[in-house]
Structure 1
Amino acid sequence: MSSLDDARALDAADPLAGMRERFLLPEGIIYLDGNSLGALPKATIAAQKDVVERQWGTDLIRSWNDNGWIGAPQRIGAKIATLIGAEPHEVIVTDSVSVNLFKLIIAATRLNADRSQILTEPGNFPTDLYTADGAAGLLANHIVHTEQAGDLVDALGPDTALMLLTHVHYKSGARHDMQLLTEEAHEAGALALWDLSHSVGAIPIDLGGCEVDLAVGCGYKYLNGGPGAPAFLYVREDLQDQLRSPLSGWMGHEAPFEFRDDYVPAPGISRFLCGTPPILNMLALESGVDLFADIDMDAVVAKSAALFDLFETRIEERCGDHGLELITPRDAAHRGSHISYRHPNGWPIMQALIERRVIGDFRAPDILRFGLTPLYTSFADIWQAVEILGEILDSGIWRDTRFAEKTAVT
């Protein structure tokens, strides 16, 4: 049976252990929700102070040129490209995941105009399903077709314009085989669009090696960009000038400061910009992304797997008779960097955990979800979190009526 001392020994040998000091983590909190909102990097505090007080406060509008504001979407996109196996000029930071999905769904289906099917899976992240449905409603004769994961390959056919999938499932943590499914989509003549929101910054991604056509991703989970951080968008180089964004805003124009009446899309990835970049949010994201500059991603991937293994082992040792059902694949190659358990009383159990200062989250109808963020989650965190969960289950304190009260955000 493992002990807290064993966990601390793993921390002592962890090559990423020093990264924890680069985050503002409240004393006494075990934070296991970085897959939903990443912790605050300390560097972000100083960077935001500079951008507000000096760049905005003193340099004013000159900062668009003098402090590089105007190039931030491309500059930060190039940094993210190194994390997802893309070329620097294939990624741009802009808008939200939902908006970027809309742009790429419309652009891709117009390119494959003789096909009418947008293929995805039931239970995909809701914004992906909702945005696909909204986009299809604006297109002539297009439908959103869903198939269970195991039936996706068979569902690809001559009518499929676009396959839209999330790389890591937000509930279960199950990971799709990106290379296989992208190859199958291409074999069927369809384009492949991947949502990387629950994988970027935590597990290996190789868009170039998998010949992925299109992708989007979130900035506020493992990239630690802050609440509502801008998202990013990827378009493979050879497709960029074939696609046209349906949101033809001025920043996507080939010459935005000529202020012409006619719209001509910019060459390359910049055509997927729309409105003025939200500079405060964008530079906060850059602080989070910069943390990866000197990190070996192999160490990140290895620690993610080791954190999972310890969590699963501890649950079996400490909570094995309390009805927790693991729904995340055990094979590290088939999962992301969170671990999820089903329990019929998942909501009140999670609220009891949060009261004990262990912060995970709940996903309806019955899933307790715990983020394993390699940059700042320690092995001691995992050991102690499961010990506290065991105490809650043993005592039955989660049955207290106060833990049944629902909140607006779960």
Structure 2
Amino acid sequence: MTTDAHVDPGTEARRRTEADPLSRYAREYATDVIHLNGNSLGPPRASLTGELDRVVSGQWARKHVRAWFEDGWLDLPRTIGDKLSPLLGAHPGQVVVAGETTSTTLFNALVAACRLRPDRALLLVEAGAFPTDLYIADSVARLLDRELLISQGFDDDLRERGPEVAAALTAPVDFRTGERRDIAATTAACHAAGAISVWDLSHAAGVLPLDLAAARVDLAIGCGYKYLGGGPGAPAFLYVPDRLQSLVDFPLTGWHGHARPFEMGPTFDPATGIDRGRTGTPPLLSLIALDHALDPLLDVGIHELRRRSLDLGEYFLECLAYRRPELLRGLASPRDPERRGGHLALRVPDAEAVESALLERGVLVDARPPDLVRIAFAPLYVTHEQVWRATGALSDSVEGLR
């Protein structure tokens, strides 16, 4: 560890915790474990129950259906989208949280992307994509009679078969190893090939600067329950730049995406702007929870969130090198922190047993078969002290399973 040889490591961990002003946010979150699983599901803020009670008791119970109009419920998919935009590097009016799942939002985006290139037969997806992305892409390809290429060499296939590619789906962070992919460079390669770029931001939103507008991303989606902390099954978001909003033709055409939803007309007339990406009546309480979760993230800002996450990840590796350096030989993530997202992965024998042993010691991580343990460094509820304690628990867990 990069500390004075005479300084106790636990004391150094406390010093680093106290020295970083972002450590104060950890007190705002309701969790009784060291939570290193934010790339799967973040914990709630302790004040969430009060916020939900405010809406349920003060709005729903008192105003009933009138609250849709009097308390801004009807506008929440768009207002939360605008609120989320700074974390994504998007402009106002380019993001909507329609209240759908990540799967249905991705389906909507992929079909719309293919419809923008009706003369091209190929749908390109990275082989290491999250399973949902693979399943949805397969369904879209069958539905639209396109060829699906699950690519082991995404960049090479994009170059070699670019003129055939209607849409190319990938992610800025590998969900297993945390390895980053350059959004701007990959989007530029898609455009050079004439393909529509589609991004799954689920493992990046809220922990990694994305700069969607500057990179000229075509379409992007992401879930609300990982680093954004919106709660189990929190609704997904959809990004559509201004230049495509009048052109996208979404397959899911619910009444909230209609230009005049309360006319109740028999045919669908798509709304202008980002509202075109809305579908049916959104799940209000889930939107409230996501809206509440975003406040501290916006208070800090995406660049400080990234700085803190990187610092925690590097400190974890320092602590592990001090306690049990042989485990670093199993590092499955890039060693360069700039090439990682918000988590890293270690290869260990019997990863699921290690996950269980850590939980018994009050540390929450998750395993991915066959041998990966993923450790996430969400910046607002993880501290340096917790990282030091977690490496001790990891060392003990591995030793106990030998």
TM-score category (smaller protein): over 0.9
C-alpha distance in structure 2 between counterparts of 1:17 and 1:202, whole Å: 16
Contact 2:333 2:340 in 1 (8 A): yes
C-alpha distance in structure 1 between counterparts of 2:172 and 2:317, whole Å: 22
In the TM superposition, what is the alpha-carbon distance from 1:179 to its structure 2 partner? 0.7
Whether 2:195 is the aligned partner of 1:190: answer: yes
- Structure 1 unaligned segments of length 5 or more: list them: 400-410
1:11-410 correspondence runs (5 A): 11-26=17-32, 29-94=33-98, 95-149=100-154, 151-321=156-326, 325-394=330-399, 396=400, 398=401
Paired amino acid for 1:13: A
TM-score by length of 2: 0.95
Deviations 1:365-410 (A, max 9, x none): 111011101011000111110011112223x2x36xxxxxxxxxxx
In the TM superposition, what is the alpha-carbon distance from 1:140 to its structure 2 partner? 2.4
Moved over 6 A (4+): none
* Secondary structure of the structure 2 residue equivalent to 1:182: helix
Moved more, 91-100 or 39-48: 39-48
Contact 1:120 1:147 in 2 (8 A): no
C-alpha distance in structure 2 between counterparts of 1:21 and 1:203, whole Å: 23
Structure-2 change in CA distance of 1:186 and 1:322 (3 Å) = closer
* Secondary structure of the structure 2 residue equivalent to 1:292: helix
Paired amino acid for 2:40: S
In the TM superposition, what is the alpha-carbon distance from 1:166 to its structure 2 partner? 1.3
C-alpha distance in structure 2 between counterparts of 1:393 and 1:306, whole Å: 24
Contact 2:314 2:337 in 1 (8 A): no
* Secondary structure of the structure 2 residue equivalent to 1:79: helix
Q: Hey, which of these two has a bigger chunk of helix by percent? A: 2
In the TM superposition, what is the alpha-carbon distance from 1:153 to its structure 2 partner? 4.3
* Secondary structure of the structure 1 residue equivalent to 2:212: coil
In the TM superposition, what is the alpha-carbon distance from 1:152 to its structure 2 partner? 4.8
Contact 1:116 1:161 in 2 (8 A): yes
C-alpha distance in structure 1 between counterparts of 2:75 and 2:185, whole Å: 35
Query: How high is the sequence identity, in percent, across the aligned residues?
Result: 39
In the TM superposition, what is the alpha-carbon distance from 1:360 to its structure 2 partner? 0.5
Contact 1:120 1:165 in 2 (8 A): yes
**Aligned twin of 1:403:** none
* Secondary structure of the structure 1 residue equivalent to 2:82: helix
Structure-2 change in CA distance of 1:323 and 1:335 (3 Å) = closer
* Secondary structure of the structure 1 residue equivalent to 2:123: strand
Structure-2 change in CA distance of 1:296 and 1:111 (3 Å) = closer
C-alpha distance in structure 2 between counterparts of 1:153 and 1:112, whole Å: 15
Q: How many residues align?
A: 395
Structure-2 change in CA distance of 1:7 and 1:124 (3 Å) = same
C-alpha distance in structure 2 between counterparts of 1:78 and 1:270, whole Å: 12
C-alpha distance in structure 1 between counterparts of 2:323 and 2:155, whole Å: 33
C-alpha distance in structure 1 between counterparts of 2:328 and 2:16, whole Å: 28
**Aligned twin of 1:406:** none
**Aligned twin of 1:402:** none
C-alpha distance in structure 2 between counterparts of 1:115 and 1:103, whole Å: 18
CA RMSD of aligned residues (A): 1.4
